[in-house]
Amino acid sequence: MRAEDLLPHRPPFLFITEVLEVAPGQSATGTWHLTGDEAFFAGHFPGRPTLPGVLMVESLAQLGGVAVLADPAYAGKLPLFGGIERARFRRQVIPGDILELEVALTRMSARAGKGTGRATVNGELACEADLLFVLVDAVA
C-alpha cells in the first residue's frame, strides 16, 4: 500500500516513502528515506544538514493517518492534529538516513483519537511522541 492511496498529502509535504504494514484502526509501520535533496536541508542547517524535529513528528502523524484511514469506519474522514504530548528527540537525523516509523493507535472514537509513535534510525531511537487528533469530514 502507498501512503498516497489513503492520505491527501502529496510531495513536497508527504513524509512517508514506504508503508510496510498496516493493521487498520490499530497500527502501522513505514519508512521515510532521506535523500538529502529535500529543500529543508539547505537551510537547516548549512554545513550540518539536520532533519527538523517537527517533521519527524509530522511523519509519525502521517503514518498514524494511514492506520486510521485504512479502517473503513473512517472513510471520508481526515485526521487533523489535536495535540502533541511528550515529544522527545534523541538522535540527529541526517541526509542518507532511513527513518523507521511505527505508530500504535491507543484510543479511537467517532470524532477523535490518540496514538503513540516512535521513529528510529538503524534501531536507535530518534523521536517519540504521543499524538492526539480530531476527525473531520475530508471534503468541506
The closest alpha carbon to 50, from 114, 123, 126, 112, belongs to 126
Q: Which of 4, 25, 44, 53 is flagged as catalytic?
A: 44
9 tagged catalytic: no
C-alpha dihedral over 30, 126, 87, 130, to 10 degrees?
30
CB proximity list for 107: less than 8 A, separation 6 or greater: 113, 114
Is there a contact between 44 and 52 (Cβ–Cβ < 8 Å)?
A: yes
> Would you tell me how many other CB atoms lie within 10 Å of the CB of residue 115?
26
Cis amide prior to 12 (ω within 30 degrees): yes
Active-site residue list: 44
